[in-house]
Amino acid sequence: MKIPEILIVETVHQPGSLAKVLQVIADTGLTIQHLSAVRRVPGHTLWEITLEMDEQANSDLYERIDQLPNARFIGKSDRVFNRHRGGKIRTVASLPINTQQTLRDVYTPGVARVCLAIRQNPALAHEFTSIDSTVAVITNGTAILGLGNIGPLAGLPVMEGKAALFADLVGLSAVPILLEETRPEKIVELISGIHLSFGAIQLEDFAAPECFQIEAQLRERLGKPVMHDDQHGTAVVALAALINAARRAGRSLTESTVGQIGLGAAGTGIVRLLRAYGVTRVLGADRNPEAIERIRSLGAEGASLEEILQRADIVVATTGVKDLIRPQWIRPGQVILALSNPDPEIEPHVAREHGAAFAADGKGINNVLAFPGLFKGALAAKATHFTDAMLMAAAQTLAEIAPLTQEDALVPDPLDKSVHERVAAAVQAAYRP
């Protein structure tokens, strides 16, 4: 699979030196994600060139760069590793502890007064602890990104990344928790045993179909917001993108036939939310018969890949299979969202060349737009669970504030913190006890 690689290349200060390097990269079929000058010395410039590449498939790239007369391949940058060094999150005090009296107030003996008050009235924990601003981010590592079952420890950088985004985007504290357990009933017991420390639970990168059982049982038992982000966070952002994609193609989303290819956690979550939103005709394709039965219980219809391309006005794909959708299958006027990363089921420009009214991939349709605001809104509302109304409010808000002046921008910029605040406000307002 393609993963980010950061090449360090030195070029001579002569016209066209860098351009020749970039042309070699283009000839290999790769797209440059980022380019920056690291250092300039007399006669030479050192560049960092960020690519998404498969080292096996593109194994001759470094040699081809070295063959250029005015450039040489130096090696790879450790920039990504350096940004992970020592971890990406910290626990910090919310007030300065710089006097003996403060120490006695926040720790022993003063803290005993607060402990006894909470024992007498547990509701006071919401006022005098960090519960209402703390989320557990929990995984067992069975479905990490597009990497699969790599185990919980290898998934920790992803969980830390989620926690860092919670902190930076909406000011929530999040604690990564790794479970060495795959049995759903045992996972439910483990999480139920620690949930009192947290105001909400985010389940992350649990494989299907176990993820459905785990989430359902925890929602029933805990009485606090529980969300499997791969299902519902992805579905919220996909729905926002579909609202705008249908609008750009001159279609009504609710009156269109929508086909979902791939019915894992993300695909099933998208089908479920589309049905809740009011889309009456939803088709789903998957190799697993149990996945088809699952969406039938949601009011959707099972179909083959070919049938979806033949019948659906809007096609969404979340399979992880590169080039799954053949260009000749595209019908004029279709909307195609091929959301697998890093390699989509069909490149958007190829889909458009073969008649699609609109096409996009998953590079900008990322659940980071959903989960920070969803959890902040749910905690602010003191919600006991997430509702479909809250999810749809988040999706509608994202659709409304997307910069539609940009041709391919179906959703807003995830680094715009005002986006997450607006999502949180909409989610809070949508909750009904």
> Which are the catalytic amino acids?
107, 162
CB contact at 8 A, 369 and 419 = yes
Torsion sign across C-alpha atoms 181, 187, 189, 190: positive
- Closest to 261 (Cα-Cα) out of 294, 229, 296, 304: 304
Phi, psi of 204 (to 5 degrees): -135, 130
What sign for the dihedral angle of Cα 418, 419, 422, 423?
negative
Q: How many distinct helices (H) and strands (E) make up the chain?
A: 17, 14
Please give the torsion angle defined by the CA atoms of residues 116, 118, 122 and 127, in that order, rounded to the nearest 10 degrees.
170
Alpha-carbon gap, residue 252 to 3, rounded angstroms:
36
- Supply 313's token pair: 């006005």
The Cα 208–Cα 292 span in angstroms is 13
Q: From residue 383, how far is each of 136, 200, 219, 290, 428 by CA, in Å?
A: 16, 9, 12, 32, 8
List Cα–Cα distances, 112 to 76, 116, 308, 377, in angstroms: 54, 6, 63, 31
Count of positions (residues) in the chain? 433
Environment class of residue 433 by beta-carbon count within 10 Å: exposed (0-12), middle (13-18) or buried (19+)?
Answer: exposed
Of 174, 251, 159, 265, the C-alpha closest to 216 is 265
d(CA 163, CA 139): 13
